[in-house]
Amino acid sequence: MSEIEIEPISNQNYHVVSKMVGELLTEIMDAINEKAFNYIPSETERRVKELVEADKYWVFMAKDRSSGEYVGFVSIYESYALYSEGAYGTIPELYVAPDWRSNKVGSKLLKAAMKFAVKKGWHRLEVTTPPLPEFARTLEFYKSNNFKISGGRKLMVSINA
């Protein structure tokens, strides 16, 4: 494998992130054998563009220097909670293409997220992984990058306005 560089998203890469989000969601749905997400590429691309340009959502991309191919990304947004003593970062998505896993790409993306968190003045980053055996490797990845289990399970309810 060649050298990986991490860079902030640019407006030419919204479609690349949208495609990788589709790959991530497909992988999750295949693992749990449930259609848990409704992925529409053009809408996902539009959303990432709007959120990034509104400075509400930050994305760092992993790029193979030799080929110029993007092989992963991490996204972050600012959250607030009384228990965290103010603002902190939440990682909603981290994806590395299958051929690039176990090559420290994910760790490099997390380091970029942590460096960004310091610049924002956050004192913590949070991420949620499903508490299922299919995601044990994901949990171990985060733990190997100094994340600690802080309790609870992420739950959601769809709100239809």
Residue 152 binned pLDDT confidence (cut-offs 50, 70, 90): confident
Phi, psi of 147 (to 5 degrees): -80, 145
Please give the Cα distance from 59 to 40 (Å, whole number): 19
Tens-place pLDDT, residues 67-120: 999 999 999 999 999 988 899 999 999 999 999 999 999 999 999 999 999 999
- The residues, any chain, with a CB within 8 Å of residue 114's CB and separated by 6 or more, are 125
- pLDDT, tens digit, for every residue of 46-80? 999 999 999 999 999 999 999 999 999 999 999 99
